[in-house]
Structure 1
Amino acid sequence: MIEDKRWEKVYSFEDSPFIMEILTQLRDKNTGSIAFRKGLVKLGRYMAYEITKTMETETVKVETPLEETEGIIVKDRRNVVIVTVLRAAIPLMEGLIKVFEHARVGIVSAVRGKAPKFEIEMDYVKIPQIKPEDTVIVADPMIATGSTLTKVLEEVKKYGEPKRTIVVGVLAAPEGITKIKSKFPDVEIFVAKIDRELDDKGYILPGLGDAGDRAFGEPLKLTTLPQVHYIE
């Protein structure tokens, strides 16, 4: 885990060969939807392992079959709320919840509009009540302009003040991180890698394309309704 000195509380996993190998597969344009989804699940799981290193632990006594010894429990792991940004974050959430199995899960449907305004349309919000001891993890694979996540974080704040708020993503652009940190300086950001920049359409470069389309298939755009033929 590497802390990026350009911002406070922003971390990448470029020092992890395994995470970088998964990212390499996700970047490859020839990786199909099934392998892409599995890669997002893997990333969620292994990034969650890394995040537990930053959580509060407690020393406990445990009886082995032979004698008493000391062990630990990760206290914060039992008080997690995962907020999933549809649709691309579903596989990422699946990986996170394998580690944070006690987590309560919220869902936010947010769609970013076209350049240059990048207006955010939020159609559905379902977030559990947040308690002071909670760690809130907002999962969104691509932190591009930061517009979607700032809107989601504003919504999350309505449900309570947690102990920590963490954004987990696959890739981030510097522009998106800067926007989030300017509005939410205490939010922690964990991504596999911070990429170079955004293009004029708001896509991360070199990036991996549209994570939602690559995971679940590009939506079919119909100009006319398909003909349905019934068998009598």
Structure 2
Amino acid sequence: MIEDKRWKGVYSFEDSPYIMEILTGLRDKNTDSIAFRKGLVKLGRYMGYELTKTMDVEKVRVETPFEETEGIIVKDRRNVVIITVLRAAIPLMEGLIKVFEHARVGIVSAARGKAPKFEVEMNYVKIPQIRPEDIVIVADPMIATGSTLLTVLREVKKYGTPKRLIVLGVLAAPEGIEKIKREFPEVEIFVAKVDRELNDKGYILPGLGDAGDRAFGEPVKITTLPQVHPIE
């Protein structure tokens, strides 16, 4: 885990060869949807493991079959709330919940519009009440312009003030990080890698494309409903 010196509380996992190998597979344009989803699940799990290194632990005594010894429990692991930003973050959440099996899960449906306004439409919100001892992890694979995450973070704040508020993603662009940090300097950001920049359409470069479309397929636009004839 490496702290990015450009911002306080922004970390990448470029020092992990395994996470970088998974990311390489996700970047490959020839990776199909099944492999892409599996890659996101793996990233969620292993980034979750890394995240436990930043959590509070408590020393305990435990009885082995032979004698008493000292061990630990990760106290914070019992107080995690995962906010899943539909739809791309579903596999990421699946991986995270393998590490944080006690987590309460919230769902937010938020979609970013086209350039240059990048207006965000939020259609569905289901977030559990947040307690002062909670660690809230907002899972969204791509931190691009930051517009979607700003909308989600504002919504999350309505449900309480957590111990820590974390954004966890696969890739981030500097522009998106800057925007989030300006409004929410206390938010911690963990990504596999911080990429170079955004293009004029708001996509991360070199990036990996649209994570939702690559994981679940590009939506089909139906302009007219098919005619249904009754069986006589």
TM-score range, shorter chain: over 0.9
CA positional deviation for 1:227: 4.1
Q: How far apart are the structure 2 equivalents of 1:230 and 1:170?
A: 49
Give the residue type in structure 1 aligned to 2:139. A
Whether 1:72 and 2:72 are equivalent positions in the alignment is yes
Give structure 1 stretches of 5+ with no counterpart: none
Q: TM-score, normalised by structure 2?
A: 0.98
1:80-120 CA distance string (max 9 Å, x none): 00000000000000000000000000000001011111111
Q: Which 4+ residue blocks in structure 1 deviate beyond 3 angstroms?
A: 227-232
Q: How far apart are the structure 1 equivalents of 2:64 and 2:190?
A: 36
Q: How far apart are the structure 1 equivalents of 2:85 and 2:148?
A: 9
- Across the two proteins, how many residue pairs are aligned to each other? 232
Match of 1:211 in 2: 211
Q: How far apart are the structure 2 equivalents of 1:229 and 1:90?
A: 37
CA positional deviation for 1:225: 1.9
Q: How far apart are the structure 2 equivalents of 1:103 and 1:55?
A: 14
Match of 1:37 in 2: 37
Match of 2:117 in 1: 117
Partner SS, residue 177 of structure 2: helix
Partner SS, residue 11 of structure 2: strand
Across the aligned residues of Structure 1 and Structure 2, the Cα RMSD in angstroms comes to 0.9
Q: 1:63 to 1:230 in 2, by over 3 A?
A: farther
CA positional deviation for 1:231: 5.5
Give structure 2 stretches of 5+ with no counterpart: none
Partner SS, residue 18 of structure 1: helix
Q: How far apart are the structure 1 equivalents of 2:77 and 2:188?
A: 16
1:126-152 CA distance string (max 9 Å, x none): 000000000000000000000000110
| Identical amino acids, percent of aligned pairs | 86
Match of 1:102 in 2: 102
Q: How far apart are the structure 2 equivalents of 1:91 and 1:200?
A: 28
Partner SS, residue 131 of structure 2: coil
Q: How far apart are the structure 2 equivalents of 1:32 and 1:39?
A: 11
Match of 1:22 in 2: 22
Match of 1:129 in 2: 129
Give the residue type in structure 1 aligned to 2:107. I
